[in-house]
Amino acid sequence: MIPLQSHPSGRHFLQIPGPSNVPDRILRAIDNVTIDHRGPEFGELGKAVLAGMKKIFKTESHVVIYPASGTGAWEAALVNTLSPGDHVLMAETGHFATLWKRMAERLGLHVQFMEGDWRHGVDPAAVTAVLRADTGHRFKALCVVHNETATGVVTDVHAVRKAIDACGHPALLMVDTISSLGSVDYRHDEWGVDVTVSGSQKGLMLPPGLSFNAISAKALQASETATLRRAYWDWHDMLAINPRGYFPYTPATNLLYGLHEALEMLFEEGLDNVFARHKRLAAATRAAVQAWGLDILCSDPAQYSPVLTAVVMPQGHGADAFRATVLQHFNMSLGQGLSKLSDRVFRIGHLGYFNELSLCGTLAGIEMGLSLAGVPHRQGGVQAAMTMLADTAHSSQEGQSGSDDVKRRA
């Protein structure tokens, strides 16, 4: 029997799907002296992080940064573009889509919620059907979650944009990328998104406390006539002073130091390499889950999340008791099931500052935890993941060698 770790040594494995692990390099950047947020040094910092975030969102348009959680950025997206009584179309993909819907209702908006089973992303055909029937263009916006953190399901945002365009509908497209930005390929401009919402504590590898709106020209135009009450969240206050690198109220100065360092890290690795790394580690995670004989919550392999994997517990076994066992014995935190999925799933976060050895340690803790908790499963999940990781590393190395040969011949 493995003893409880009453005084655990070694690092805590934080394998929830956000907040994610914060690299030492970013922690050192945050641990800097606080400077005058109206001085010239801060102005340069502000301009640098605003420009860097445009690259992350892949937009030439405006990005604003709030000292707030992602929930604040949800509200900013709605109150800057809509008016009381406006009709909004939203899609039920999971817990966080549901929370955004509740916020919209509390703000005085009328929401039509397209029902979902929490195992699939947004269906573009369903979007087309609803918007095509809306001949009076009652819906002013469509809100979707790109990567649903509660379920491990990714929605094809580009396909949703095409569905809107196929109907010739003028609704704004708003997208939550709180758990995907910086981990999953995302293209605000190319995909025709009007407002993209995000936060600092997932793929950007920061502590919670910063949130973002990327804003299209169409959304900015809508903000001129929107009448939902706003003050703190007003884009115009931000955009009036942002070009000089400043903010209309006291910013989270030290978190912006961290954001600057996070952007440097992402650009040094290269965004395409970051996205490929997340896909590779996610595939290895799923290989382990399947080798254990457990079910992945996401039903469509094309919609598997590179950020997290939600695992369905066998009938008669609670996810919370299993998670408690893993925490007590191995000092590792796994994500819990939320609302409809409470005690039915556990979630493995594999995002941000994360590599192959970190994943193998995570999966080893889970496999040992399954045995200790008496959860029916097959052995060999860790080995399946290791085999996949070794194979993909070998293939990558061969591809690099081939590329080097071509360069030498050239």
List binding-site positions. 347
Cα–Cα distance between 144 and 126 in angstroms, integer?
13
Q: Are strands 332-336 and 308-312 parallel, antiparallel or unpaired?
A: unpaired
Residues, the chain, total? 410
- Residues in contact with 10: Cβ distance below 8 Å, sequence separation at least 6, in sequence order: 331
Give SS3 for 123.
coil
Q: Which of 267, 145, 249 is nearest to 205 (CA)?
A: 267
Structural tokens at position 118: 């929490």
Run of H or E including 53: helix 40-57
Give SS3 for 155.
coil
Cα–Cα distance between 178 and 199 in angstroms, integer?
5
Contact 120, 266 (CB under 8 A): no
- Residues in contact with 39: Cβ distance below 8 Å, sequence separation at least 6, in sequence order: none
Give SS3 for 22.
coil
**Sign of the torsion angle spanned by Cα atoms 293, 298, 302, 306:** negative
- Known binding residues for substrate are 347
Contact 105, 111 (CB under 8 A): yes
